[in-house]
Amino acid sequence: MKIGGATLNPFIMLDSDSKIWLERRFKESVRFDESMSKHTSLWVGGTADAFVMPEKPEELVELIKWSRQNDIPYLVIGDGTNLLVKDSGIRGIVIILTRCLKRISKRDTGKDGIIVTALAGARMQALCSFAVKNNLKGMNFAIGIPGTVGGGVMMNSGTAHGLIKSVLDSIKILLPDGHIKIIMKENLNFDYRRLSLKDEVKEANQGRPIILGACFRLHPSDPHELQKDAEKKLKARKERQPRSLPSAGCFFKNPLSGKTAGELIDLAGLKGKSTGGAEISLKHANFIINKDRASASDILALIELVQETVSKKFNINLELEVKIVGQ
């Protein structure tokens, strides 16, 4: 592979010139060979060649343009609560937005409700708290979902009580060429735990966008009721989910009809099965937990076991909800 005239080892994306540029530009906000286990809720994963935490939005734009010009792949992540990073790590640059994009604000639009704008690096739980504190109804479905607003929007996160798509009004994105665009909800496609741009918008813009922020349409409500509802939902989550050990939430998508993925895994007799340090939770069969210094390979082996067993027993292919990244 040739980058900037130099031949690169395919397992190392960054040459010394690139490292020097990153170091000069980002100083203590860049780390090299950073273990991704520090940045994922599963606590597994190899190293990223570079890990950049831009302090200002302008730095992010500059980084994206530079990466593109130099053919260096980048991956924007949130809090890594839906990610399994492979043991061999991530070539190129991993970027987080939790330092440069974290503001949450609101504006009144009269009878159409209140628009709350949350930047991509803000925590989903900060957004839920902001809504409750400002007596706004609409976000309580997401109470307890970890991660950032950017990750939540990208994943169309949700619970049995609602989905991001139902409260979203528009998103602001950064395109690989450095342009910033606002895209209204009508031009977005939402699937189960997935958001994508409609084809006509995709063609016009080219490339995978970075979410910079999102606007949510919420409505005034009774503060006492909101608070009570939030507490009830949080308590129910804590009772259902294993919270004391590292996980990435539900690993598999629920089939469109019939039993949930968790029920199928339970019925297949897989609760408590383990590979290396990874285990299928006894509390919630759709959670794979890192019980004792698991590697990504341990978890990948469990995924294979679940998919094969459920397919053989029930003729159902369980699709992954968690995103697998890395080489």
Ligand X SMILES: Cc1cc2nc3c(=O)[nH]c(=O)nc-3n(C[C@H](O)[C@H](O)[C@H](O)COP(=O)(O)OP(=O)(O)OC[C@H]3O[C@@H](n4cnc5c(N)ncnc54)[C@H](O)[C@@H]3O)c2cc1C
Residue 42 beta carbon to ligand X: minimum distance, rounded to whole angstroms: 8
Residue 272 beta carbon to ligand X: minimum distance, rounded to whole angstroms: 19
The one-letter code for the residue type at 50 is A
Binding to ligand X by residue 294, rule CB under 6 A? Answer: no
Residue 253 beta carbon to ligand X: minimum distance, rounded to whole angstroms: 10
Q: At 47, phi and psi to the nearest 5?
A: -90, 150
Binding to ligand X by residue 261, rule CB under 6 A? Answer: no
- Nearest CB to ligand X, comparing residues 83 and 218: 83
Q: Give CA–CA dist 32/48, Å, rounded.
A: 7
Q: Which of 90, 171, 195, 211 is close enough to bind ligand X by CB under 6 A?
A: 211
Only one of the segments 3-11, 64-72, 80-88, 289-297 lies at the binding site for ligand X (rule: CB under 6 A); that segment is 80-88
Q: Tokens standing for 33?
A: 């060979």
Binding to ligand X by residue 113, rule CB under 6 A? Answer: no
Total chain residues near ligand X (CB under 6 A)? 31
Binding to ligand X by residue 53, rule CB under 6 A? Answer: no
Q: Give CA–CA dist 148/77, Å, rounded.
A: 9
Binding to ligand X by residue 79, rule CB under 6 A? Answer: yes
- Taking alpha carbons only, the member of 310, 300, 305, 301 closest to residue 264 is 310
User: Exposed, middle or buried by CB within 10 Å (0-12, 13-18, 19+), for 266?
Assistant: middle
- Nearest CB to ligand X, comparing residues 113 and 209: 209
Write out the DSSP string of 101-161. ---EEEEE-GGG-EEEEEETTSBHHHHHHHHHHTTEES-GGGTT--SBHHHHHHTT-EETT
- Nearest CB to ligand X, comparing residues 34 and 79: 79
Cβ 146 vs Cβ 157: under 8 Å: no
**Within positions 142 to 181, which residues make up the interface with ligand X, using CB under 6 A?**
145-148, 150-152, 154-155, 157-159
Binding to ligand X by residue 326, rule CB under 6 A? Answer: no
Residue 24 beta carbon to ligand X: minimum distance, rounded to whole angstroms: 25
Binding to ligand X by residue 254, rule CB under 6 A? Answer: no
Binding to ligand X by residue 80, rule CB under 6 A? Answer: yes
Only one of the segments 8-16, 21-29, 84-92, 141-149 lies at the binding site for ligand X (rule: CB under 6 A); that segment is 141-149
- Residue 113, Cβ neighbours under 10 Å: how many? 18
- Residue partners of 153: CB distance under 8 A and separation at least 6: 120, 164, 168, 171, 195, 211, 214
Binding to ligand X by residue 75, rule CB under 6 A? Answer: yes
Residues marked active site are found at 193, 250, 321
Query: How far apart, in Å, are the Cα atoms of 93 and each of 16, 139, 164?
Result: 14, 32, 28
Residue 135 beta carbon to ligand X: minimum distance, rounded to whole angstroms: 24
Q: At 201, phi and psi to the nearest 5?
A: -75, -40
Binding to ligand X by residue 95, rule CB under 6 A? Answer: no
Binding to ligand X by residue 54, rule CB under 6 A? Answer: no
Cβ 108 vs Cβ 114: under 8 Å: yes
Q: Which of 18, 37, 47, 82 is close enough to bind ligand X by CB under 6 A?
A: 82
Q: 3-state SS of the chain: helix, strand, coil percent to 5? A: 35, 30, 35
Binding to ligand X by residue 298, rule CB under 6 A? Answer: no
Can you give the binding site for ligand X, defined by CB under 6 A? Answer: 41, 75-83, 97, 120, 145-148, 150-152, 154-155, 157-159, 210-211, 241, 247-249, 323
